[in-house]
Amino acid sequence: MDLATAIRDLVERNAPPGVYHLTNDAEASRHDWAREILRLGGMGDVPVEAVTTADLRASGYDGPVKPPYSVLANHHARALGITMRPWRGALAAYFERARASVDG
C-alpha cells in the first residue's frame, strides 16, 4: 500500500522523469528483515544467522556482486515532499492485513 500511495503521489505531482527509489524509511539488513518477518509471524525464536557476502562467496556463491553497503534512499521523492513510513510499521501493517484476510 505504501508503494502504491507513493507512486500515486509522484503521478499527481507531475514528478519529473527519473529514477525514484521508493522504499519505506529506515535501514534494514537482510538479516534484520528476516528476523522481523519471523517475529511478526510468531516465530521470533527461530535463529537466523547473519552471513556476509564474503562468507557466501567463500562457500561457493557466485551470484551478482553487490556493494557491502547499499541502502535505497528516497532522495528524489523526498525532495517532492513524498515520504514513506518506517519499514517495520509497514511490515507490521502487512501482517495485520494478511491475518485479517485469513481470519476473515
Residue ranges of the domains in the chain? 1-27+71-104, 29-70
Q: What is the pLDDT of residues 6-28, one digit of tens each?
A: 999 999 999 999 999 999 999 99
State pLDDT tens for residues 45-74.
999 999 988 898 999 999 988 887 888 889
Q: Do 20 and 76 touch, CB atoms closer than 8 A? A: yes
Q: What is the distance between the alpha carbons of residues 50 and 96, in angstroms, rounded to a whole number?
A: 27
- Contact by Cβ (8 Å): 90, 84: yes
